[in-house]
């Protein structure tokens, strides 16, 4: 399996900012470990993606980027139905069934965007199975060990 270079992450950023969301900014910041956040809009929505310095394969940062883009779609959908306040409330939940479902939904929306990105670049959907496995693992971190929470 070929590593995914930083240029793919840069192209994904351009795709999301120019082709998908006209009101989104994305910041890519090199640090020690990959993590990402979506900040719902005040005037513009912002995704901040911290990625590990010195890595050769940008697969995980790419997955983080598209997951957070899924949150952008979620916010827009909730905002259109007058439920933006519920979006913020769900985003603030530390764990539980609601938060897990929320994260799974963001991953599904991000998956659709990743497919669009790969189709635009005329690449096979080789990363989708890996993205799906990563998404399941990420969503599991929001599950509680207690039943019913």
Beta-carbon count within 10 A of 1 CB: 8
Does residue 148 register a pLDDT over 60? no
Mean pLDDT, to the nearest integer, of 71-97? Answer: 92
**C-alpha to C-alpha distance for 60 and 33, rounded to whole angstroms:** 10
- pLDDT score, position 62: 96
Task: Look at residue 86 and tell me if it is in a domain.
Answer: yes
DSSP string across 98-147: HHHHHHHHHHHHHHHHHHHHHHHTT--STTHHHHHHHHHHHHHTT--SST
Task: Look at residue 21 and tell me if it is in a domain.
Answer: yes
**C-alpha to C-alpha distance for 133 and 20, rounded to whole angstroms:** 24
The answer to whether residues 49 and 29 touch, using CB atoms and an 8 Å cutoff, is yes
**C-alpha to C-alpha distance for 17 and 26, rounded to whole angstroms:** 7
Task: Look at residue 57 and tell me if it is in a domain.
Answer: yes
pLDDT in tens, 113-133: 999 999 998 887 789 999 999
Task: Look at residue 145 and tell me if it is in a domain.
Answer: no
Enclosing domain of residue 95: 6-140
Task: Look at residue 147 and tell me if it is in a domain.
Answer: no
Pick the range with the lowest mean pLDDT from 13-17, 62-66, 104-108, 125-129: 125-129
pLDDT in tens, 19-50: 999 888 998 988 876 667 776 665 567 888 98
Task: Look at residue 148 and tell me if it is in a domain.
Answer: no
Task: Look at residue 40 and tell me if it is in a domain.
Answer: yes
Predicted model pTM: 0.85
Q: How many domains does the chain have?
A: 1
Residues near 13 by beta carbon (within 8 Å), at least 6 away in sequence? 26, 28, 65
Task: Look at residue 146 and tell me if it is in a domain.
Answer: no
Does residue 144 register a pLDDT over 80? no
């Amino acid at each position: 399996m070929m590593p995914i270079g930083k240029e793919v992450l840069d192209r994904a950023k351009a795709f999301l900012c120019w082709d998908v969301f006209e009101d989104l900014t994305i910041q890519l910041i090199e640090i020690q470990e990959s993590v990402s956040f979506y900040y719902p809009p005040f005037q513009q929505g912002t995704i901040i993606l911290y990625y590990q310095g010195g890595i050769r394969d940008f697969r995980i940062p790419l997955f983080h980027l598209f997951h957070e883009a899924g949150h952008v779609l979620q916010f827009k959908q909730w905002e259109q139905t007058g439920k933006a306040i519920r979006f913020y409330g769900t985003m603030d939940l530390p764990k539980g069934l609601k938060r897990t479902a929320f994260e799974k939904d963001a991953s599904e929306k991000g998956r659709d965007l990743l497919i669009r990105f790969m189709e635009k670049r005329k690449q096979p959907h080789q990363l989708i199975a890996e993205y799906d496995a990563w998404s399941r693992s990420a969503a599991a971190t929001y599950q509680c060990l207690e039943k019913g929470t």
